[in-house]
Amino acid sequence: MAVSWRAVVLAALGAIPVLLVPQYAVVLGWALVVLLVVLVDLSLAASPRDVVVRRTVPASVRLTQPTSSSLVVTNTGARRLRGVVRDAWQPSAGATSNRHRVSLPAGESARLVTPLLPTRRGDRAADRVTVRSFGPMGMAARQLSADVPGRLRVLPEFASRRHLPSRLARLREMDGRAAVQVRGQGTEFDSLREYVIGDDVRSIDWRATARRSEVVVRTWRPERDRRVLIVLDTSRTAAARIGELPRVDAAIEAALLLAALASHAGDRVDLIAHDRRVRAQVARAAGPRLLPALADALAPVDPTLVEMDWPATISAIDQRLSQRSLVVLLTALEPAAVSHGLLPVVAPLAHDHTVVLASVADPEVAELATSRGSAAEVYDAAAAERTELERAAVTLRLRRYGVEVVDALPDDLAPRLADTYLALKAAGRL
Amino acid sequence: MSQTTSEPVRLGGEPPRSVAGRRWRRWRLPVLIGALLLTAALLAALIQPQVSREPLAVDNPGSTGVRALAQVLGDQGVVVHEVQTTADAVALAQPGTTLAIVGSLLLTDADLDQLARTGADLVVIDGDSYALDVLTDGQVAETWAPSAQLRSANCDDPDATAAELVSDLVYSVTLTGGSGQLCFTATNDPQTGGYAVVEAGGRTVRVLADSTILTNGSVTEQGNAALGLRMLGHHDHLIWFRPSLLGTGTSEGSATGFANLPPWAGPFAALLGLVVLVAAVWRGRALGRVVSEPLPVTVRAAETTRGRGRLYRRARSRGHAAAALRAAVARRTAVRLGLPASADAPTMIEAVASATGRPTHDVAGLLYGPPPSDDAELLVLTRALDQLESEVHRT
């Protein structure tokens, strides 16, 4: 039950009789009048029990994209339903104007659309639908809430896709290039074409030139159908916030850009998210199905506050890979975590596969390192420098095992990882 | 875009199948209202007790009350009016009635004047000296002479002689003039007594020094009841005036704040309370519950670094801080100058000295010198290292 402002006004109108006959009995009488009016209005209100609600939500939406959830409200009772319907969502679903006035004759339906603008990645759940049904005087209302299940999967924003066109252009440049400098065991013979000035003379195919009147060069295309496995660390280090977002969000952006680029380049991309067990995985999705599958798998991934189990992760990697592949570890270059967890077990992995470790650096540490204001800030700067030195030492040890290390700020990580991939591809090291 | 549509949900749930459930649904509201009314009635009965707990109140059945005396007086045909304000007492007190003033400490001069002007016979119980002086024209005064023993009448007053003996009394009165009777005198001091009867202003004024003998707890002892009943039962109407703080002091100067308010103020305040109550119900009922957000942890990644900085600071560990800063500068300049990371100190100093044109001992002091001894030196060293690094990077 609920009352409206009209009931308050009605109670306040009692001032007139009370001023005319200043006695407590009049106040009591007026209170009874208000109670009676409220009860009569309440008994004439349509029952919210007879309201049937059906919810329609889009299955998924990309972060920062507006969408909407719609409720079809049907009044199956015998009276006209006047009142308010609230479509409650989690705050991060961004349901701002979710209260709808309705006036439904008996037996009719209305569609109420609640705009949603999600502010966080993951599964956003709808809460209860509340119906408040006022009586004909609008004094008092009956109110009822019920769960009407609804779930909106908010996919990662993939803001790094703006870097994709330039990287695809570089990929096309690699295609058909006379590839002497980049010739390696992985480059594949593509075709023969006429020599143009600027081509490396070492790529001239003399046998083909002998058969024809002009000079012919061999061209190469980048290797195709290699395997790329992206390993996303969802342990405690991924939970730390850098700027406004946890580290794992920057890692997801990088993973999506790399996957988009690699699938265009004709490579097969798989992914696992792992801390002490596999949290999410995408396997054998190719072509246009890859990115939606990745986004869907990564949307609900949240970091857990446990230590990364690197031996288990590496055995999970080994299960999925049979041939030499590119393994991208999206983790944090935390000196303690890496030197105790990853370093002891990375050697066999780096021997069997090409390993890239991509880490999200913290701009705050760099800022701390240059602060010179007071003695206190100099201590902070010294601590930041010490952290940097330890990171450098760990990076050095990883590189000795043959692991490529990409350490970049959150916004730069995705393009830097894509560039590293392109460089490895051009060098035929996949 | 693909969409998912939920099953239709009836807000009232499925209608209950059992007969009991349907019956409960139908009778729920009346039963609820009935229970509410019953609770309200019970509460009202609890809030307004039928008996008083105040001492010497005629409806107090406890040991300090006087209900027993009042009921017996009532049975004998005496109508007992209990009043608490001077105005009520004066209005009821006519010639041919008894006005009993129980405790006079709260009465002001104006009150006493008004009370003295009524034509009623007075019974002053627990009166203080000033009130006795005014009401008896100065014939009776209060004294204090306790004697823990029974007292006999010792006078000619018919009420006192009928009672013969009363319990011991703490307070006493004495006659200071006139031709009154002093009864129940103390054995060790015949000038003090527990009860006095005088004629003043054309009516009889009876003074009882101690109210204890009238209370429920001791009225049954000795002749207490006889004295009380006779003393108070001379007329058909007894006005039992028990002064209260709000009911006395009717003169304008000492009027309380409530008396100045217009008559509609009380009802108006009650109405205001009603409006506030309805407004509270209006604002207090939320449209559905509050939805919570499962938030992720919010630990800043740089927190560990800051923590280490704080540790350095608290331990005044300038050596460690300076070593970290020097090592960082050395590493960066080594990269810049193309030296291997494993380069030893002399090589490093040589390379930096030749790159910047500084003397070698200067560079050695900066990069490998002793740790600073205080915070000021640490600051100086930091600035010098920055300077050195910028020189290397300029070349």
Distance from C-alpha of B154 to C-alpha of A174, rounded to nearest angstrom: 137
Min Cα–Cα distance to chain A from B163, Å: 49
Q: Does B4 touch chain A (CB under 8 A)?
A: yes
Count up the domains in chain B and report the number.
Answer: 2
> Nearest-CA residue of chain B relative to A95?
B291
Considering the domain architecture, whether residues B121 and B239 belong to the same structural domain is answered as yes
Q: What is the pLDDT of residue B111?
A: 83
Report chain B's terminal Cα–Cα distance, integer Å.
59
> Nearest-CA residue of chain A relative to B376?
A375
Q: What is the pLDDT of residue A188?
A: 62
Measured between beta carbons, the chain B residues lying within 8 angstroms of A61 are: 1
Q: What is the pLDDT of residue B148?
A: 58
- pLDDT single digits (tens) A157-215: 999 999 999 999 888 877 655 444 444 444 566 677 888 887 778 778 888 888 888 88
CB contact (8 A) between residue A380 and residue B267: no
Q: Which of A47, A378, A392 sits opposite B378 (nearest CB)?
A: A378
Min Cα–Cα distance to chain B from A129, Å: 8
Contact indicator for A139, A1 with CB cutoff of 8 Å: no
Considering the domain architecture, whether residues B202 and B338 belong to the same structural domain is answered as no
Question: Which structural domain range is residue B367 located in?
Answer: 308-394
Output phi, psi for A379, to 5 deg: -60, -45
Which helix (H) or strand (E) segment holds residue A360: the answer is strand A354-360
Amino acid at A131: V
Burial of B210 per CB tally in 10 Å (0-12, 13-18, 19+): buried
Considering the domain architecture, whether residues B125 and B229 belong to the same structural domain is answered as yes
| A41, A379, A388: best to mutate for the B interface, most B CBs within 10 A | A379
Q: Considering just the CA atoms, what is the radius of gyration of chain A in Å?
A: 33
Q: What is the pLDDT of residue B209?
A: 84
Question: Would you say residue B123 lies in a domain?
Answer: yes
Min Cα–Cα distance to chain A from B313, Å: 6
Q: What is the mean pLDDT of residues A21-27?
A: 86
Q: What is the pLDDT of residue A181?
A: 45
Considering the domain architecture, whether residues B227 and B319 belong to the same structural domain is answered as no
CB contact (8 A) between residue B293 and residue A239: no
Distance from C-alpha of A42 to C-alpha of B25, rounded to nearest angstrom: 16
Considering the domain architecture, whether residues B109 and B230 belong to the same structural domain is answered as yes
Min Cα–Cα distance to chain B from A357, Å: 18
Considering the domain architecture, whether residues B87 and B225 belong to the same structural domain is answered as yes
Write down the CATH superfamily of domain A224-426: von Willebrand factor, type A domain (3.40.50.410)
Considering the domain architecture, whether residues B130 and B221 belong to the same structural domain is answered as yes
Amino acid at B115: L
What CATH class is the domain A1-155? mainly beta
Question: Would you say residue B13 lies in a domain?
Answer: no
Distance from C-alpha of B376 to C-alpha of B379, rounded to nearest angstrom: 5
Distance from C-alpha of A304 to C-alpha of B294, rounded to nearest angstrom: 13
Output the average pLDDT for chain A: 89
Beta bridge mates, A246: A241
DSSP calls for A223-245: --S-EEEEEEE-SHHHHSEETTE
| B28, B32, B274: best to mutate for the A interface, most A CBs within 10 A | B274
Residue ending a domain, among B227, B248, B269, is B248
Q: What is the pLDDT of residue A187?
A: 57
Q: Does B384 touch chain A (CB under 8 A)?
A: no
3-state secondary structure of B23: helix
CB contact (8 A) between residue B12 and residue A50: yes
Q: What is the pLDDT along chain B (395 residues), one digit of tens a residue?
A: 578 888 888 887 765 556 666 678 778 888 888 999 888 888 877 776 567 777 888 888 888 888 888 888 888 888 888 888 888 888 888 888 888 888 888 888 888 888 888 888 888 888 888 888 888 888 888 877 666 567 777 788 888 888 877 777 777 888 887 778 888 887 777 788 888 888 887 788 888 888 888 888 888 888 888 888 888 888 888 888 888 777 665 544 444 556 667 778 888 999 999 999 999 999 999 998 999 988 877 788 888 899 999 999 999 888 999 999 999 999 888 888 888 877 888 888 988 888 888 888 888 988 888 998 888 889 999 999 999 988 887 66
Distance from C-alpha of B132 to C-alpha of B178, rounded to nearest angstrom: 14
Min Cα–Cα distance to chain B from A144, Å: 7
In terms of phi and psi (left: phi > 0; alpha: psi -120 to 50; beta: otherwise), the region of B290 is beta
Q: What is the pLDDT of residue B145?
A: 64
Beta strands in chain B (DSSP E): 3-5, 9-10, 79-83, 98-102, 121-125, 140-144, 151-152, 165-166, 171-175, 181-185, 192-200, 203-208, 237-241
Min Cα–Cα distance to chain B from A50, Å: 6
Q: Which of B3, B299, B378 sits opposite A56 (nearest CB)?
A: B3
Measured between beta carbons, the chain B residues lying within 8 angstroms of A47 are: 12
Q: What is the pLDDT of residue B395?
A: 61
Q: Which of B8, B10, B312 sits opposite A383 (nearest CB)?
A: B312
Report chain A's terminal Cα–Cα distance, integer Å.
68
Judged against a pLDDT cut of 90, whether residue A113 lies above it is answered with yes
Q: What is the pLDDT of residue B232?
A: 86
Min Cα–Cα distance to chain A from B333, Å: 13
| A104, A377, A385, A390: best to mutate for the B interface, most B CBs within 10 A | A385
The stretches of B10-152 forming alpha helices (DSSP H) are: 19-47, 67-75, 86-92, 109-117, 129-135
Measured between beta carbons, the chain B residues lying within 8 angstroms of A386 are: 308, 320, 324, 328
Q: Does B26 touch chain A (CB under 8 A)?
A: no
Count other Cβ atoms within 10 Å, centred on residue A130: 22
Query: Among B316, B319, B314, B350, which residue's Cα sits nearest to residue B333?
Result: B350
Q: What is the pLDDT of residue B15?
A: 58
> Nearest-CA residue of chain A relative to B291?
A90
Q: What is the pLDDT of residue A339?
A: 87
Query: Among A387, A395, A372, which residue's Cα sits nearest to residue B324?
Result: A387
Q: Considering just the CA atoms, what is the radius of gyration of chain B in Å?
A: 48
Measured between beta carbons, the chain B residues lying within 8 angstroms of A365 are: 301-302, 305
Residue ending a domain, among B248, B267, B295, is B248
Q: Which of B263, B296, B379 sits opposite A378 (nearest CB)?
A: B379
Judged against a pLDDT cut of 70, whether residue A328 lies above it is answered with yes
Query: Among A231, A254, A294, A273, which residue's Cα sits nearest to residue A409?
Result: A254
Question: Tokens 């300076």 — which residue?
Answer: B322
Cβ neighbours for A353, distance < 8 A, ≥ 6 positions apart = A321, A324, A325, A326, A327
Residue A117 — very low, low, confident or very high, per pLDDT cuts 50/70/90? very high
CATH for B189? 3.40.50
| B1, B271, B325: best to mutate for the A interface, most A CBs within 10 A | B271
Query: Among B208, B205, B247, which residue's Cα sits nearest to residue B91?
Result: B247
Cβ neighbours for A194, distance < 8 A, ≥ 6 positions apart = A214, A215, A216, A217
Contact indicator for B331, A393 with CB cutoff of 8 Å: no
Q: Does B293 touch chain A (CB under 8 A)?
A: yes
Q: Which two tokens stand for residue A162?
A: 């703006």
Q: DSSP assignment, residue A177?
A: B
Torsion of CA B345, B347, B351, B353, to 10 degrees: 60
Measured between beta carbons, the chain B residues lying within 8 angstroms of A383 are: 305-306, 308-309, 311-312, 321, 324
Distance from C-alpha of A260 to C-alpha of A255, rounded to nearest angstrom: 9
Distance from C-alpha of B45 to C-alpha of B47, rounded to nearest angstrom: 6
CB contact (8 A) between residue B287 and residue A130: yes
Q: Does B17 touch chain A (CB under 8 A)?
A: no
The stretches of A179-325 forming alpha helices (DSSP H) are: 206-211, 236-239, 247-264, 290-298, 310-320
**What residue spans define the domains of chain A?**
1-155, 176-221, 224-426
CB contact (8 A) between residue B296 and residue A302: yes
Measured between beta carbons, the chain A residues lying within 8 angstroms of B281 are: 2-3, 7
Task: Please state whether beta strands A99-104 and B140-144 pair in parallel, antiparallel, or not at all (unpaired).
Answer: unpaired
Which of A57-71, A277-291, A343-357, B45-59 shows the lowest mean pLDDT across its residues? B45-59
Question: Would you say residue B303 lies in a domain?
Answer: no
CB contact (8 A) between residue A148 and residue B6: yes
Contact indicator for B92, B83 with CB cutoff of 8 Å: yes
Distance from C-alpha of B152 to C-alpha of B33, rounded to nearest angstrom: 64
| A378, A391, A400: best to mutate for the B interface, most B CBs within 10 A | A378
Amino acid at A358: A
